[in-house]
Structure 1
Amino acid sequence: MSTNLSKSKVAVIGLGSMGLGMATSLLRAGFDVAGCDVSAEAVEHFGCAGGRAVRSPAEAARDAEVVVSVVVNAAQTEAVLFGENGAAETMAPGSVFVSAATMDPEIARRLGKGLEATGRLYLDAPISGGAVKAAAGQLTILASGSSAAFAKARPALDAMAGTLYELGDSAGIGAAFKMINQLLAGVHIAAASEAITFAARQGLDLRKVYEVITASAGNSWMFENRVPHVLDGDYTPRSAVEIFVKDLGIVQDMARGARYPVPLAAAALQMFLAAAGSGFGRQDDSAVARIYAQLAGVELPSGK
């Protein structure tokens, strides 16, 4: 570990399951990491893990070379940057803001231009991989921004990512790539939920269905990853239903603006909306299967 790296300061704003994993990966790589979150419990937990627990984005960003924002959406990202006690108040000239939230590419472009006008750098860097890969420093990061932004952020990105895609020289490109991923991910979760519940309606052994499909052409990463949650009746959120209400909603807005049809994404969105409206919004996104089960009048496995 180099002396310079061990003294480099990074801020992580948002210490949920993803942000905490990213922050601990940075700590493990030797960075001096300040972290903040709206949850006092999350901040305390981070402090116990060896990080510097602070109370606001402004405090976290002070003296940091890299500020990593791991919040839910564009509105929260804008508040982290430009709201009261926002990071832009204290970020040093030439430091870089790494935005990990999934958002409309147009908003990513606007935020990037706004921050760069102040002499700071902006990297549009949505993430994929889930909490387990975040904690292991093995995320996939879909990034776009200036060469200066990449150069400043690279040591921190290398600590957090197993795969880093450099997708363009301006903000918004990374966000657009992420929305293509989210379109597919949402459709595949809905399809997996539909299929496993249809199997239940046919009276099939669901674990045998899982075994057969994961060895067959109908398999998908989402079927293989999410159906075990259904089989165990465990809807503890790894990624919540509400995430896809948001993300497929963004896909719909983008498609409407482009006058482009996305009927499969639209149908999947309706199932996520039904799940959220039925009280499952904070459950794992595989809880879409529970809506199919209600419609079909079938029993899915129940948890322990």
Structure 2
Amino acid sequence: MTQVGVIGIGDMGSGLAKNLIANGFETWGIDLLAARQQAFGDMGGRSAASVADVGRNAQIVFVMVMKGAEAHEVILGSGGLAETMAPGGVVLLTATIKPSEARAIGDALDGRGLHLIDSPVSGGYPGAQGGTLTMMAAGTDAALAQARPVMEAVSASIHRVGTAPGDGQTVKACLQSLIGAQFSATFEAAALAAKAGVPGQVILDVFSTSSAGCGVVNNALEKIIDRQFEGTGSHINTMHKDLTISMSLGEELGVPLHTAAAAMQVFHAGRTRYPDGDNWTCTRVIEEIVGAELHRNSAKVTR
């Protein structure tokens, strides 16, 4: 039996773990939060005492942390995967970090006997929990062949986007610049409809069956009109961080990202006003400005 590890078992990592276990893989996991560790054990996972414990027990390890510095530490730090995994093991970097950070990790791993697959994911909390994530994978033929059964357990679409560390993160940065723009346009359209007195269900029905309808827009509208602004598995900090990465790449390459920059400001406002909210909470900031809220069966004037 292939033994798999998951480092970071929050909203996304818990979905990875759930589907790995369901597909028969012995799955080791660790998280900084005790509640997440307990939930992981309850679903049948093997709780690890440390990152080193994961490395010693798994041939393939998913790294699903928040920041590049965290990924660097769990892979290359003292007691990290580079020190504890057996030669020939595969590190799946599924966290979203800067391309330059992924390249630095790849350079440091060179000659250490491990394979690195740079494969950020898309699909959010529903995709992670449902095992339908899109993976943007960059790695060698050998690494991808070795990891494919494990990747297929958590993903519905695996795209080979390159061979080198950083290639996957670059594609993800491009994708997030688009998704950020879709989000911010949806938030503004929802506030416009609220101020005009159009019920949310009408907007959802029309948008979802139009050429503008897509998973991003439809899901965001569902959350807005049902006033679900927290606890939906899509914390605003994550998208804010991802847009920061997109903007950084644009600056590095000299590419103007006017729309992504506007989305960045929308998310910045949302995170400042509602730091515990999810992505859709940005709509509340605009609604407060215009004095109206979009509900499923009505548009509510608040002042």
Q: TM-score range by the shorter chain?
A: over 0.9
Query: Match of 2:272?
Result: 277
Letter in 2 for 1:256: E
Query: Match of 1:104?
Result: 98
Query: Match of 1:265?
Result: 260
Letter in 2 for 1:224: N
Measure how far apart 1:294 and its partner are. Answer: 1.6
| Structure-1-length-normalised TM-score | 0.93
Query: Match of 1:4?
Result: none
What does 1:1-304 correspond to in 2, within 5 Å?
7-236=1-230, 237-278=232-273, 280-301=274-295
What secondary structure does 2:293 align onto? coil
CA RMSD, 1 decimal: 1.5
Q: Relative to structure 2, which stretch is displaced further, 153-162 or 129-138? A: 129-138
CA distance in 2, matches of 1:215, 1:301: 19
Kindly tell me: are residues 216 and 137 of structure 1, through their superposed partners in 2, closer, same or farther at Cα, counting changes over 3 Å? closer
Q: State whether residues 112 and 123 of structure 1, in contact with CA within 8 Å, keep that contact through their aligned partners in structure 2.
A: no
Gaps of 5+ in 2: 297-303
Q: Could you tell me the percent identity over the aligned residues?
A: 34
CA distance in 1, matches of 2:59, 2:28: 11
Moved over 4 A (4+): none
Measure how far apart 1:262 and its partner are. Answer: 0.4
Q: State whether residues 37 and 55 of structure 1, in contact with CA within 8 Å, keep that contact through their aligned partners in structure 2.
A: no
Q: State whether residues 29 and 48 of structure 2, in contact with CA within 8 Å, keep that contact through their aligned partners in structure 1.
A: yes
What secondary structure does 2:292 align onto? coil
What secondary structure does 1:132 align onto? helix
Measure how far apart 1:151 and its partner are. Answer: 2.0
CA distance in 2, matches of 1:151, 1:113: 21
What secondary structure does 1:12 align onto? strand
Measure how far apart 1:218 and its partner are. Answer: 3.3
- Alignment length, in residue pairs? 295
| Structure-2-length-normalised TM-score | 0.93
1:47-68 deviation per Cα after TM superposition (whole angstroms, max 9, x unaligned): 1211110121111110421011
Measure how far apart 1:180 and its partner are. Answer: 1.2
Measure how far apart 1:170 and its partner are. Answer: 1.1
1:58-99 deviation per Cα after TM superposition (whole angstroms, max 9, x unaligned): 111104210111111212111211234322220111101000
Query: Match of 2:300?
Result: none
Measure how far apart 1:139 and its partner are. Answer: 1.4
What secondary structure does 1:98 align onto? strand
What secondary structure does 2:263 align onto? helix
Kindly tell me: are residues 154 and 220 of structure 1, through their superposed partners in 2, closer, same or farther at Cα, counting changes over 3 Å? closer
Gaps of 5+ in 1: 1-6
CA distance in 1, matches of 2:78, 2:229: 36
Q: State whether residues 95 and 152 of structure 1, in contact with CA within 8 Å, keep that contact through their aligned partners in structure 2.
A: no
Q: State whether residues 116 and 122 of structure 1, in contact with CA within 8 Å, keep that contact through their aligned partners in structure 2.
A: no
1:101-135 deviation per Cα after TM superposition (whole angstroms, max 9, x unaligned): 11111211111121133121100010111223323
CA distance in 2, matches of 1:45, 1:27: 13
Q: State whether residues 144 and 169 of structure 1, in contact with CA within 8 Å, keep that contact through their aligned partners in structure 2.
A: yes
Letter in 1 for 2:257: V
1:21-55 deviation per Cα after TM superposition (whole angstroms, max 9, x unaligned): 11121111111111111111211221121111012
